[in-house]
Amino acid sequence: MKSKSSTVAATVKPSRGLVVRVMSAEERSADMKEFGTEIRKDKASAVAFLQRAGILDASGSLVDPYRA
C-alpha cells in the first residue's frame, strides 16, 4: 500500500522566491499534455505562448533561427 506522501508532489521554495513543484515523470507528462491542450484552445493563446518562448516575434512571424 502506498503512503499518501508518495502520491503527493513535493513543493520546494528555491532561493529566488519562486515556488517549484517537484513531480514524478508521470505527473510531469500529464501536466505537459494538459498545458498543450490549454494553449491550443484558441489561436491567441497559442501565439502568445510561442511569442513567450521566442519562436514568434511581436508580429507573429517566425524568428530567424526557426525560418527555413
For the chain, which ranges sit under pLDDT 50?
A: 1-6
pLDDT at position 19 is 79
Helix, strand, or coil (residue 34): helix
Residue 12 included in any domain:
no
Nine cell digits for residue 23 = 513531480
Per-residue confidence (pLDDT) for residue 62, from 0 to 100:
96
**By residue range, what is the domain housing residue 39?**
25-68
- Residue 56 in contact with residue 44, Cβ under 8 Å? no
Residue 28: predicted pLDDT:
94
Grid coordinates of 59 = 508580429
- Asked whether residue 18 is domain-assigned, the answer is no
pLDDT (0 to 100) of residue 12 = 59
Asked whether the whole model's pTM tops 0.75, one would answer no
Number of domains present in the structure of the chain: 1
Look at residue 54 and tell me if it is in a domain: yes
